[in-house]
Amino acid sequence: MSRSKRVLFLLEESPAAHIRFFEGMRMALGFSVSHPGLEVLLTGKAVRAVSTFRPSEIGMPLELLEFFPLFQDLEIRTYVDQDALERMGLSRDLPSVFHLIDAKAISEKVCNADIVIGFSAMSREGA
């Protein structure tokens, strides 16, 4: 009897910088159908997604704002790197859909996941 794989989506890219963030969120939503218990971790500049912003003003799809309520409805836990929040100067007083997580817990999540799917800033060197 096989058990369900523990899948972690790791997003590091700012939602304002690249469509990569939006595509990672869409992929996580799709994966949730076949991988119950999937988790999403926002770290680095991706923590900016928890702040108030207007996607249309930066050329991003309005649907970006709909992911987090959908994740909550589908029981997809969304973790936010508390150290990155502090570095970005963002409030740690977040809606209950988000769960703050420290560096040690982030390391444990990554190590304990069966599959980690990363959406990171690509290196600009040599590109």
- Tell me, yes or no, whether 126 lies in a domain: no
Range of the domain at 69: 7-119
In this structure, the strands spanning 115-119 and 77-81 are: unpaired
The single-letter DSSP state of residue 10 is E
- Residue 78 belongs to domain with CATH number: 3.40.1260.10
- Tell me, yes or no, whether 38 lies in a domain: yes
Q: What is the pLDDT along the chain (127 residues), one digit of tens a residue?
A: 446 889 999 999 888 776 788 889 999 999 998 888 899 999 998 998 887 656 666 566 666 667 888 898 899 999 999 999 999 888 778 888 899 999 999 999 999 999 999 988 654 443 3
124: tokens are: 């600009």
Domain count, the chain: 1
Q: How far, in Å, CA of 115 to CA of 101, rounded?
A: 19
pLDDT at 15: 80
- Tell me, yes or no, whether 86 lies in a domain: yes
Asked if 36 contacts 4 with a C-beta cutoff of 8 angstroms, the reply is yes
- Tell me, yes or no, whether 1 lies in a domain: no
Q: Phi and psi (nearest 5°) for 40?
A: -120, 135
